[in-house]
Amino acid sequence: MPAVAVLLGALALFALGYRFYSAYLAKSVYALDPAFVTPAHSYKDGVDYVPTNKHIVFAHHFISVAGAAPIVGPAIAVFWGWGPALLWVVLGTIFASGAHDFGSIVVSVRHKGKSIGALASDVISARARILFLLIIFFLVTMVNAVFAVIIAGLFIDNPEAVLPTLVTIPLAIGVGQLIYRRRTAALLPSLASLVIVYACIPLGQALPITVDPVAGALGVEPALVWLVLIFTYTFFTSRLPVWMLLQPRDYINQQQMVLGLIIIMVGIVVGMDTIQAPAFRGDMPEGSPPIFPLLFITIACGAVSGFHSLVASGTTSKQLDKETDARYVGYLSSLGEGTLAVCSILACTAGVMVFSANEGGAWTDLYTDWAAAGASPAGMFVQGVAGFAANIGIPESIGVVFATVVVVSFAATSLDTAVRLQRYTVQEISTIAADRAAEGGPVHRACLFLSRNITVATLIAVGVPLVLALVPGNFAAGTLWQLFGTTNQLTAGLALAVIAVWVTKRGRNPIAVLVPLVFLVVMTSWALVTQLMGFLRSGDAMQTFVLAPLDVVIFVLAVWMTVEAVLALRKAFAARRAAPGEPKAPAEAAAEGTEDK
């Protein structure tokens, strides 16, 4: 199968999805109102609540959600064949991710920019809030651990990419100053910054940066040093105002994303490469996991992802200038991430065989078994992009550094956002605990202190995933990916439950939300049970005594939260039957302030 045919077919379906399906969601399901005063205006504080141009918000949201996950997940999932992976990415993006991301932003905007965990309390029940927050805590912990390990691994394998990546930070700060201090348009400064970053690639090749001397002096592995440096960096950057580093770096990375996708797509068209992997792999290696349900949790971001709801309600909703911008920011970002996932599939099934080290070999030699598929998925993508870049005359050595910088930049941006979101989660959980503890007691005072102290909350947000990433055996980027994917998809299902109840209460048809909701809850619950059996049978101490208990805890929380959502939906449908009538007009809903509690 020609790679270009797959690419063009996917892009055509995405375009139709935005033109028609997102318009249906905007008008008939979410009923967007251009007159609604968003939280960015109502609670403007210059730090988190900042009315922002929709293109910049799009860049922030897109790059925050399009981290390493839409690259890594598909790069692993093609092990079962590119056909099932592509089908899930395309359909999941159009009908699940688009509705999920779009709806998460709208519901949060309608409830003062609250996080999805707090929204669970408003929309479903008071118990649902703490349950959801606990699931979010587990999810973000694993997101941070996995992404940090991926970045550390890429830096170790490609030290030439370290310098161009580091240069992005001061450039982003400079762009932020130009945009928000001098009111300069963002496009030209961000493009100029990107030119400087790529101009540093030859310099990075001449001056590769490693931490081997430091690791050797301390008697530790280089990965440990990189992990400590990465989490130290995120501790400080996650506390900065969003306009100072997060937004401008996102805008630079958006240009980088566009350029990266252009290079991949042009390389596919010029090279006319053929997909070397089977569409459906029939002769599965012994010990391979079942495609059902694991395909749907291996490809999380890139089809639908609960992490998106955390970004949508945690930072994006607080920056939205107009409610109608939610369609552009939420749905189009989902399509952008789906496009990246499609490119990852093609890079790992076609481009990777163009790479000089793999030419003449068989694709199955790279994906010999499940362990090989998960050993270095980001590295497989990097090779694939370098292969496509070689089709248009870019030397492979430069293509490898370019692709590494792209992946690391996206992962680092997601880390920055995720640590910020984890700090919010820690403070929310502490606030609830303080409210329920005996007033004046030691537990009450400790929880109250944690809920108000940003420094300690941030230390917890970076410390827990750091410990998880440093567990002996370094399983965070391999086996832990499965648990991350399951928790991620479970969170997506629960976010859709919040959206479905809210839509139902407003008297609108929730079927567009209910279908992906039911599918995800079934698949993730099934996957949790399947993974638990695998962890217990593995004979590995880490899987038996760390991952298996985590799996059980997450499964119990999932069942409990699902019951709460079902009860809330039944109540909402009963209320509709008891008081039938036309849905509220947007203007009427806006007049109520926050809605339908």
Q: How confident is the model at residue 593 (pLDDT cuts 50, 70, 90)?
A: very low
Cα–Cα dist 566/411, whole Å? 35
Residue 530 forms part of a structural domain: no
The confidence score (pLDDT) of residue 591 equals 37
Contact by Cβ (8 Å): 547, 538 = no
Cα–Cα dist 103/21, whole Å? 13
Contact by Cβ (8 Å): 459, 427 = no
Q: Residue holding tokens 């490898």?
A: 400
- Does residue 92 register a pLDDT over 90? yes
Contact by Cβ (8 Å): 481, 149 = no
Cα–Cα dist 402/260, whole Å? 8
- Does residue 474 register a pLDDT over 70? no
The confidence score (pLDDT) of residue 581 equals 52
Of the two residues 179 and 85, the one the predictor is more confident about is 85
For residues 446-459, average pLDDT:
90
Contact by Cβ (8 Å): 504, 573 = yes
In the chain, how many domains are there? 1
For residue 24, give both structure tokens.
């249906």
Quick check: pTM over 0.75? yes
CA-based max dimension of the chain? 73
- Does residue 87 register a pLDDT over 60? yes
- Does residue 472 register a pLDDT over 80? no
Contact by Cβ (8 Å): 562, 4 = no
For residue 333, give both structure tokens.
């970002």
Cα–Cα dist 411/154, whole Å? 11
Of the two residues 59 and 37, the one the predictor is more confident about is 37
Name residue 470's amino acid.
L
The confidence score (pLDDT) of residue 586 equals 47
The confidence score (pLDDT) of residue 55 equals 87
- Does residue 57 register a pLDDT over 60? yes
Distances (CA, A) of 193 to 30, 176, 372: 38, 11, 37
The confidence score (pLDDT) of residue 436 equals 84
Contact by Cβ (8 Å): 115, 314 = yes
Of the two residues 260 and 48, the one the predictor is more confident about is 260
For residue 382, give both structure tokens.
């990097």
Element (H, E) at 550: helix 548-578
Name residue 584's amino acid.
K
The confidence score (pLDDT) of residue 588 equals 39
- Does residue 230 register a pLDDT over 50? yes
For residues 318-346, average pLDDT:
95
The confidence score (pLDDT) of residue 592 equals 39
For residue 294, give both structure tokens.
């694991």
Name residue 97's amino acid.
S
- Does residue 405 register a pLDDT over 80? yes
Cα–Cα dist 542/467, whole Å? 13
Contact by Cβ (8 Å): 85, 77 = yes
With H, G, I as helix, E, B as strand and everything else as coil, classify residue 499. helix
Cis (ω within 30 of 0) for the bond into 293? yes
Contact by Cβ (8 Å): 334, 87 = no
The confidence score (pLDDT) of residue 212 equals 94
Residue 99 forms part of a structural domain: yes
Name, in order, each residue with C-beta under 8 angstroms of 434's C-beta and a sequence gap of 6 or more: 444, 447, 448, 451
The confidence score (pLDDT) of residue 461 equals 93
Q: How confident is the model at residue 78 (pLDDT cuts 50, 70, 90)?
A: very high
Q: Tell me: the pLDDT tens digits for 353-396?
A: 999 888 888 999 999 998 888 888 889 999 999 999 999 999 99
Q: Tell me: the pLDDT tens digits for 415-428?
A: 888 898 899 889 98
Cα–Cα dist 130/134, whole Å? 6
The confidence score (pLDDT) of residue 410 equals 81
For residues 117-123, average pLDDT:
83
Name residue 147's amino acid.
F
For residues 99-110, average pLDDT:
96
The confidence score (pLDDT) of residue 479 equals 64
Question: Residue 258's CB: how many other CB atoms inside 10 A?
Answer: 13
The confidence score (pLDDT) of residue 252 equals 85
Range in 55-69, 191-205, 265-279, 335-349 with the lowest mean pLDDT: 55-69
Residue 533 forms part of a structural domain: no
Q: Tell me: the pLDDT tens digits for 270-309?
A: 999 999 999 999 888 988 889 999 999 999 888 999 989 9
DSSP string, 416-440: HHHHHHHHHHHHHHHHHHHHHSPTT
- Does residue 105 register a pLDDT over 50? yes
Share of the chain above pLDDT 90, in %: 50
The confidence score (pLDDT) of residue 125 equals 81
Burial 523-535 (b: 16+ CB within 10 A, else e): bbbbbbebbbebb
| Burial class of 406 by CB neighbour count within 10 A (0 to 12, 13 to 18, 19+) | buried
How would you write 244-271 as a 3-class SS string?
CCHHHHHHHHHHHHHHHHHHHHHHHHHH
The confidence score (pLDDT) of residue 564 equals 86
The confidence score (pLDDT) of residue 65 equals 81
The confidence score (pLDDT) of residue 149 equals 87
User: What's the number of CA atoms in the CB half-sphere (13 Å) around residue 552?
Assistant: 9
Q: Residue holding tokens 């280089």?
A: 222
- Does residue 186 register a pLDDT over 50? yes
Name residue 295's amino acid.
L
Name residue 361's amino acid.
G
The confidence score (pLDDT) of residue 596 equals 42
Domain that holds residue 160: 3-114+140-276+291-478
Q: Where are the alpha helices (DSSP H) in 158-186?
A: 162-180
DSSP string, 298-317: HS-TTT--HHHHHHHHHTGG
- Does residue 402 register a pLDDT over 90? yes
The confidence score (pLDDT) of residue 473 equals 54
Cα–Cα dist 307/491, whole Å? 7
Contact by Cβ (8 Å): 114, 108 = yes
Residue 503 forms part of a structural domain: no
- Does residue 541 register a pLDDT over 80? no
Range in 156-165, 178-187, 579-588 with the lowest mean pLDDT: 579-588
Long-range contacts of 40-49 (CB under 8 A, 24+ apart): 40/113, 40/318, 40/319, 40/320, 40/321, 41/321, 42/112, 43/112, 43/113, 43/318, 46/241, 46/243, 47/241, 47/242, 48/242, 48/315, 48/318, 49/113, 49/318, 49/319
For residues 555-572, average pLDDT:
86
- Does residue 179 register a pLDDT over 70? yes
Name, in order, each residue with C-beta under 8 angstroms of 45's C-beta and a sequence gap of 6 or more: none
